Amino acid sequence: MKYRKFGNTAIELSAIGLGCMSMNHAYGEPDDAESVLTLEKALDLGINFWDTADIYANGANEELVAKVLKPNRQKIFLATKFGFQLNQGSSLTQFDGSPAYMKKAVEASLKRLQTDVIDLYYAHRIDPNIPVEETVGAMAELVKEGKVRYIGLSEASASSVRRAHSVHPISALQSEYSLLTRGVEEQILPVCKELNISFIPFSPLARGLVTNTLDITTLKDGDFRKSLPRFQEQHAKNNKGLTQEFAELAAAKNATAAQLALAWVLAQGDNIIPIPGTKRRKYLTENAAAVNIDVTADDLEKIESLLKKYPDTGERYGAANNKLVDKD
């Protein structure tokens, strides 16, 4: 494994982190036994940066992670998040970034994770009804109390990042970023670079789409991806052509499509640490090997040409999810 500096610190995080959400939330069927083995394998591979959230499986994801976190606490840099609440339909459409809710949320996370400190605590979104300065000010109190080491934001706009950073240093910004989702390139990546903030891409494999191994017709009811525009039939022909040709580019480099997609993300900046999610040791091992793939200028040019050839990839979110993305 290779490592990258975390924010404006001397902490070294694995260049490929581990997103734990899909172990028992949003995608497919849970397999706790395999997930635990995957977490243990992550340690063997030197993947020391793990990401969860209180809303994943309504807290059960944190409890699952805790099974391996607790006996290995000093080996793991753990991130979790707060703010989302489930509505009556079990959808993540309600968000509370208030200090009062945060204080309850952090105590619940600490209990589920069986730890006395969270290394990186994110506000899972920006609450449009509460000034970001108020949310971050309350999070800064957690740092003073020793319950949290560093503060992060998720899906925040460049202006919100600047406002938050003026209250307390923001060490990490997490947003979706992949070959198919590149909205952060204009403003977010530059502001992270300027302020020495680690940028943490979630869904760097476009929720499995760019791996060339996903058949969208097999997605089961309850799989979050079935509700996303990108995974609908009208984009299937475009995305199948794109992913097949991308896999051919990867094969020419003796890599899988997933590995080349992750290597592409890593090549966009040395402050970028993607967190692909998996519940399988097989895919974890495959993803980890992406750090050894060199993406050349010629590779980048070929990839850009391919993306232009297949532009109809579809939007990443529908209207309900887009409402919770902070915009300038």
**pLDDT (tens digit per residue) in 230-281:** 878 888 899 999 999 999 999 999 999 999 999 999 999 999 999 999 999 9
Predicted confidence band at 92 (pLDDT cuts at 50, 70, 90)?
low
Classify residue 122 by its DSSP letter.
E
Model pLDDT, residue 209: 87
The mean per-residue pLDDT over the stretch 11-38 comes to 92
Query: Domains in the chain, ordered, with CATH?
Result: 3-207+259-293 (3.20.20.100)
pLDDT digits (tens, 9 = 90+) for 152-165: 999 999 999 999 99
Determine the average pLDDT of the residues in 89-97.
70
To 5 degrees, how large is the angle CA 139–CA 143–CA 149? 110
Average pLDDT over residues 181-196: 97
Q: Given this model, what pLDDT does residue 87 score? A: 58
Q: What integer pLDDT is reported at residue 318 of this predicted model?
A: 64
For residue 28, name the pLDDT band (cuts at 50, 70, 90).
Answer: confident
pLDDT over 90 (residue 118): yes
Return the pLDDT at 320. Answer: 66
H helices of the chain, where? 32-45, 60-69, 99-113, 132-145, 158-167, 188-195, 236-251, 257-266, 281-288, 297-309, 319-322
* Residue 227, pLDDT above cutoff 90: no
Please determine, for residue 170, whether its predicted confidence score (pLDDT) is greater than 80. yes
Closest CA to 259 of 230, 281, 239, 288: 288
CB 158 within 8 A of CB 177: no
Q: Is the pLDDT higher at 222 or at 101?
A: 101
Look at residue 149 and give its three-state secondary structure: strand
| pLDDT band (50, 70, 90) for residue 100 | very high
Mean pLDDT confidence for 207-222 = 77
Query: Any idea which residues carry the catalytic annotation?
Result: 56
Asked if 238 and 326 touch (Cβ cutoff 8 Å), the reply is no
Give the pLDDT score at 328: 65
Residue 26 pLDDT > 90: no
Looking at the chain, the whole-number percentage of residues with pLDDT higher than 90 is 80
What pLDDT does 218 receive? 66
- Token duo for residue 105: 């949320």
Question: What single DSSP character describes residue 293?
Answer: -
Q: What percent of the chain has pLDDT over 70?
A: 92
- How does residue 29 score in pLDDT terms, banded at 50, 70 and 90? confident
